[in-house]
Amino acid sequence: MANDFAGPMIRVVDLVTHYGEHLILNHVNLDFPTGETMVILGGSGTGKSTLLRHIMRLERPTSGRIFIKNQDICCMTEERFNQIRRKIGMLFQSAALFNSMTIEENVALPLHELTQLEDSTIRIMTRIKLDLVGLSGFENYMPAQLSGGMKKRAGLARALAMDPEILLFDEPSAGLDPITAAGIDSLILKLKLAFRMTIIVVTHELASAFMIADRITVMDRGEVIATGTPEEIRNCQQPRVLQFLNRIPEGDQVDQQEYLRALTQN
Amino acid sequence: MTGVLAFLGRNTLGFLRYVSGLYDLSAKAAYWAFVAPFKGRHVKWGNAVHQMVVAGVDSIPIVSLISLFIGIVMGLQGAYQLAKFGATYFVTALVGVSMTRELGPLMTAIIIAGRSGSAFAAELGTMKVSEEIDALEAMGLDSVRYLVVPKYLAMLVMMPCLTLISDLAGILGGTAFEMTQLDKTFSMCLWATRDALVMRDITTGLIKSMVFGLIITTIGCNEGFSVKGGAEGVGKATTSSVVISIFLIIFADVIFTAIFYYTG
């Protein structure tokens, strides 16, 4: 891959975002080095998926900047950002396959719409991508006919269709049994070794995080609380990180006064 | 007092936000339908034809049947009143004029709002919930261009066609009643209709039907895009798309009928 820019592939600077009044991301600063796999760990509702959606510009921040290849994507025109988007593939939590199309049509859609390639070429490329994720032979199936793990694989094939430089995974193992989830993990490892893409994986699965990551970032309540190599994270002594790694449940609220007030308030 | 003001303010703001959402959606759709093709970004005609079949051709049976019944009812009600003056000759004119100017476009719009407007809301809402719309955007494909513009085009073409069919079916319903109950012949009815109608009756009805088509598409798609939360959200959006569309259709009908009345 040609490296015509210095610095990290993606840089998030002081990102703040709200849903209505609710603060979701609180001054997040994060670098995603080129060619590395970064896993963002955190519990539910800590804003890790929101961060991913901001990188894809599916949502707009309250303040802050996101740079992809040193270009600020927040104040870029839609037209220009679409050029960048072509080099980013995203696997959504629910795979987000188009239910009215076959698997092959799903994977071929970006090629059909965004390139001038011949139909026969597109057909071959689609087959290659499906073969890569282990779905050859399922070209003419509809998404509804596939299992959860196969849908994820098909979604991944579609994300890979445009040969992206950046690959984003939103909870790749959510809702999958351990064996299927491990299959997706090894697929991510395979891609990482084969293509040297910059990969970001959002997850709360500890085992898979330590298996696939070059670097891990732990998020809590909209803030980055630790970032480093898997080894550094494992040895991190910060209480919230320890709590997450050792799977200690959240303590109960013990303030009696506050509890009574909450009950009697109308 | 402050409570009332806060309530008014909140609702006004909510209303304005809703209207600006409708404006954004239709402006974007207009751009992709009429401006972008000149920049080499073609309209998805395949999708538009598919929508024409689903929303238009497939609606022909129900639109014709309901319009036939409305025509019969109009004939019955007209005869009841006009018989007092011995003027049942004018029943034909009554049915013809009221179908083409008013009931044809209105009934068609209400049926299509219930049939296709709700389908638009449900389709886009389900796609929103299952992240399919995000996936489109993530590929750099504009969701309005792919999903909304074909629906607008289909409705702009099919609403006038369905309205013409409705006009015809209504007039036939009236004729059937008159032939059986008022002892008229088919050709008498045909000539009476021809004498009663002027071109303007039909064109004003067709103009209205296009406006109604725009309303149904805008509301249906907007409700679909604004779905939040799973299946329940889709259900709510589907219901409110029908309610809001029918309200706006009748509101627009008042305005357009008044305009045609005072300019006619």
Q: What is the DSSP letter of A67?
A: E
pLDDT at A254 over 70: no
Q: What is the DSSP letter of A5?
A: S
Nearest residue to A58 via CA among A34, A33, A82, A23: A82
- Percent of chain B clearing pLDDT 70 (strictly above): 100
- The type of residue at A148 is G
Nearest residue to A143 via CA among B200, B192, B105, B131: B131
Most confident residue range from A68-72, A225-229, B223-227: B223-227
Looking at domain A35-46+82-250, its CATH architecture is 3-Layer(aba) Sandwich (3.40)
Residue in B closest to A83 by C-alpha: B140
The pLDDT confidence band at residue A128, using thresholds 50, 70 and 90, is very high
pLDDT at A173 over 90: no
Nearest residue to B68 via CA among B172, B217, B155, B181: B172
Residue in B closest to A110 by C-alpha: B139
What mean pLDDT is predicted for residues A121-143?
91
The pLDDT confidence band at residue A60, using thresholds 50, 70 and 90, is confident
DSSP reduced 3-state for A91? strand
CA distance B46 to chain A (A): 13
Q: For residue range B115-140, list pLDDT tens digits in order.
A: 999 999 999 999 999 999 999 999 88
What are the chain B neighbours of A90 within 8 Å (beta carbons)? 135, 138
The chain-wide mean pLDDT, for chain A, equals: 87
- Mutation target vs B (from A56, A73, A86, A94; most B CBs, 10 A cutoff): A94
CA distance A227 to chain B (A): 27
Residue in B closest to A170 by C-alpha: B131
SS3 content of chain A, % helix, strand, coil (to 5): 40, 25, 40
Among A239-248, B102-111, B126-135, B136-145, name the one with the lowest average pLDDT.
Answer: A239-248
CA distance B39 to chain A (A): 13
Q: Which of A56, A93, A99 has its CB closest to that of B138?
A: A56
What are the chain B neighbours of A99 within 8 Å (beta carbons)? 130, 132
Task: Count interface pairs A-B at CB distance under 8 A.
Answer: 48
Nearest residue to A155 via CA among A177, A175, A170: A170
Residues B92 and B74: beta-carbon distance below 8 Å:
no
Structure tokens at B140: 């750099």
The pLDDT confidence band at residue A1, using thresholds 50, 70 and 90, is very low
Residue B70 to residues B75, B197, B203, B260, Cα–Cα distance (Å) = 9, 18, 20, 23
Cβ contact, residue pair A96, B139, below 8 Å: no
Enumerate the β-bridge partners of residue A89. A167
CA distance B161 to A92: 41
Segments making up each domain of chain A, as ranges: 35-46+82-250
Residue in A closest to B146 by C-alpha: A113
CA distance B147 to A31: 36
Q: Which of A81, A83, A92 has its CB closest to that of B135?
A: A92
pLDDT at A3 over 60: no
The enclosing H or E element of B50 equals: helix B45-51
DSSP string, B146-176: IIIHHHHHHHHHHHHHHHHHHHHHHHHHHHH
**Cα–chain center distance at B97:** 19
What are the chain A neighbours of B135 within 8 Å (beta carbons)? 90, 92, 96-98, 158
Cβ contact, residue pair A92, B140, below 8 Å: no
Angle in degrees, CA A87, B130, A126, rounded to 5: 45
Q: Which ipTM was obtained for this model?
A: 0.84
Q: For residue range A134-158, list pLDDT tens digits in order.
A: 888 898 999 999 988 899 999 999 9
Which has the higher per-residue pLDDT, A251 or B213? B213
Segments making up each domain of chain B, as ranges: 44-263
Residue in A closest to B44 by C-alpha: A113
**First-last CA distance in chain A:** 61
Q: Is B255 exposed, middle or buried (0-12, 13-18, 19+ CB in 10 A)?
A: exposed
Residue B225's pLDDT is what? 94
What are the chain A neighbours of B137 within 8 Å (beta carbons)? 56, 58
The pLDDT confidence band at residue A242, using thresholds 50, 70 and 90, is confident
What are the chain A neighbours of B134 within 8 Å (beta carbons)? 53, 56, 58, 92, 96
Residue A260's pLDDT is what? 81
What are the chain B neighbours of A98 within 8 Å (beta carbons)? 132, 135
The pLDDT confidence band at residue A266, using thresholds 50, 70 and 90, is low
What are the chain B neighbours of A167 within 8 Å (beta carbons)? none
Half-sphere exposure of A195 (CA within 13 A, CB side): 19
**B35 part of contact set with chain A, CB < 8 Å:** no
Structure tokens at B234: 């889709």
- Mutation target vs A (from B131, B142, B144; most A CBs, 10 A cutoff): B131
CA distance B66 to B64: 6
What are the chain A neighbours of B139 within 8 Å (beta carbons)? 85-86, 109-110, 113-114, 162
- Mutation target vs B (from A54, A98, A142, A169; most B CBs, 10 A cutoff): A98
pLDDT at B87 over 80: yes
Which has the higher per-residue pLDDT, B215 or A266? B215
**B132 part of contact set with chain A, CB < 8 Å:** yes
pLDDT at A2 over 70: no
Structure tokens at B161: 């066609």
CA distance A221 to B157: 52
